[in-house]
Copies of this chain bind each other. A is one copy, B any other.
Amino acid sequence: MTAKSNASSSSSTRRGRKNDPESVQADILAVATREFSEKGLSGARIDEIAEKTRASKRMIYYYFKDKETLYLHTLEAAYQKVRLQEAELQLNHLAPLEALSRLVRFTFCHHAKNPDFIRLVMIENIHHGRYLAQSKLIQSLNAGVIDALTNVYNRGVEEGCFREGLDPRELHWLISALSFFNVSNQHTFSRIFDWKQAAPENQRKLEDHVTDMVMRYVLPDDTAMANP
């Protein structure tokens, strides 16, 4: 909530005052994230966001001029948070096999633990990625992911533990698809096939199987699988 006390300049001078713009903005953004991810851009109501904020509706339009602008900021903040977490993964000093399996498990768990982010991306896709396209910020954030994966894959090919000829971007696509679908379609899938997909034991199984799928895809054809 108020976790964002201003980093450098103003925090020292603005101590102990009643007006607290940074915290108000952060609060609005947090509430907006919940509301937009829950109900979508058109489903979310500014009045409801205002009510759940300790600020007033007036403040929403004061800091974020539009409903759409607020949504865009929400989306940007969500991506930023994800990439920050991803950056903490240090894959370079791990063996390729280990690094890849770790990346897969990280992605799977991360998505599972952040349904808000997944839902925002779903919603953004419903809007044809129109808002994401407006954001220079998000574009720049995502280059690193592919770079890291390319590095791991190339090392793996050199060491002979990955097969050649795969596109790292498609590998990322595969990992994303499985981890994303696990969250995005949980409701319909569970209901249709009467399967408690969200149950911890099933989530653990799925995590193992997803890791297995990816590893089997990149392993050379003559390699037998070792069970973890």
Contacts and interface: CB of A to CB of B under 8 A. Distances in A.
- Chain A at the B interface: mostly helix, strand, loop or mixed? helix
Contacts of A42: 39-40, 42-43
A70 interface: no
Contacts of A224: 221-222
A43 B42 CA distance: 5
Given A132-B192, A174-B178, A178-B174, A122 B124 contact: no
A127 B206 CA distance: 23
Q: Among A119, A186, A188, A205, which residue has the most Cβ atoms of chain B within 10 A?
A: A188
Interface string A42-73: 11000000000000000000000000000000
Q: Among A126, A129, A139, which residue has the most Cβ atoms of chain B within 10 A?
A: A126
Interface residues of A, number: 53
A74 B133 CA distance: 30
Contacts of A181: 173, 176-177, 180-181
B122 A40 contact: no
B189 A173 contact: yes
A152 B123 CA distance: 36
A5 interface: no
Interface in A165-203: 169-170, 172-174, 176-178, 180-182, 184-193, 195
A125 interface: yes
A41 interface: yes
A91 B142 CA distance: 42
Interface in A124-183: 124-126, 128-129, 132-133, 138-139, 142, 146, 169-170, 172-174, 176-178, 180-182
Given A40-B126, A43-B41, A139-B192, A212 B217 contact: yes
Contacts of A104: none
Interface of A: 39-43, 119, 121-126, 128-129, 132-133, 138-139, 142, 146, 169-170, 172-174, 176-178, 180-182, 184-193, 195, 205-206, 209, 212-213, 216-217, 221-222, 224-225
